[in-house]
Amino acid sequence: MVLADAGLTLAPDDPRTQVAKQILAPLTLELTEKRIAIIGANGSGKSTLLRLLNGLVLPSSGTVHVQGRNTRSEASAVRRSVGFVFTDPLSQLVMPTPQEDLELSLRRQKLSKKQRQEKALGILASYGLDHLAQSSIYELSGGERQLTALATVLAVDPSILVLDEPSTLLDLRNTQLLMQRLSTLDQQIIMSTHDLVLAATFERVLVIEAGQVAFDGAPQEAIAAYRKMAS
C-alpha cells in the first residue's frame, strides 16, 4: 500500500460538516510490513486512515494505491482485495444469524447450497461459535458478534486484512484467540487498536496524533512515544 500526499480535508460545503475540517494531514507512507498497528488518542484519525486503505473514504488530496490499484479509479477491485473489519460488528453483520452471514460471504464461491452450509458451519466452529450458528445476531454478546464479523471477512480470503479496533469487545480468552488467529494468517494485516499489548506484537507501529503521523517505527519505541504524548 502506498499513500502519496494522501490527506482528508472536508470542505465547508461538504454535507458531512458545516465547517472546513482537516481530518488527516497529507501523508506519504509505504505500508509494506506484514503486521502494522496504528495507535493514538480518540479522534486522532486512525479509523479515517484505515478507511482510506480500502477506498471506503477517498482522499481529498493525493492518492492511495493498494497492490498498484488506485482506490479512486479501481475501487471495486480494491474492496475485493482488502477485507475490512469494523469496530462495530453490527455495521458488518447484515443477516439475521451468523450462519446466514457466513453463507452470504461465501456466495461467490462455486459451492452447492449444502457445501456452502457445511463450510459456513465449519468456519464458525473454528471460532467456537458453531453453537450460535442459528441464533439471532442480536442475541449474541458483543464479543461473539465481533468474532463472527472477523469470520465473515476472512471466509473470502482477502489478500490484505484491515481491522479497526478488533478487540474492543473481547474478553481475555477471546483476545488471545484473536491474537493467535491473526498470527497464523499469511495476509498483510493493518490494525488500529487501543490495546497496547496487542500492538506490541506487531512489526511496525504508527502513532497518529491530530491527523498526523507522530511516530512510525518499532513497537516498543512507538508505545513509549504514545505514552509520553498522553501524559
Ligand X SMILES: Nc1ncnc2c1ncn2[C@@H]1O[C@H](COP(=O)(O)OP(=O)(O)OP(=O)(O)O)[C@@H](O)[C@H]1O
**List of residues contacting ligand X (CB under 6 A):** 10, 16-17, 21, 23, 40, 42-48
Backbone φ/ψ region at 106: left (φ over 0), alpha (ψ -120 to 50), beta? alpha
Identify which of residues 133 and 205 has a Cβ nearer to ligand X in the complex. Answer: 205
Q: Which residue has the cell 498483510?
A: 188
Least Cβ distance, residue 213 to ligand X (angstroms): 12
Least Cβ distance, residue 1 to ligand X (angstroms): 17
CA atoms within 13 A on the CB side of 33: 17
Identify which of residues 10 and 104 has a Cβ nearer to ligand X in the complex. Answer: 10
Least Cβ distance, residue 12 to ligand X (angstroms): 12
Identify which of residues 156 and 197 has a Cβ nearer to ligand X in the complex. Answer: 197
Instruction: Record the cell numbers describing residue 218, joined without a space.
Output: 518499532
List 82's β-bridge partners, or say none: 160
Helix or strand holding residue 36 (H, E): strand 35-40
Identify which of residues 48 and 105 has a Cβ nearer to ligand X in the complex. Answer: 48
Least Cβ distance, residue 200 to ligand X (angstroms): 18
Q: Are 152 and 89 in contact (CB under 8 A)?
A: no
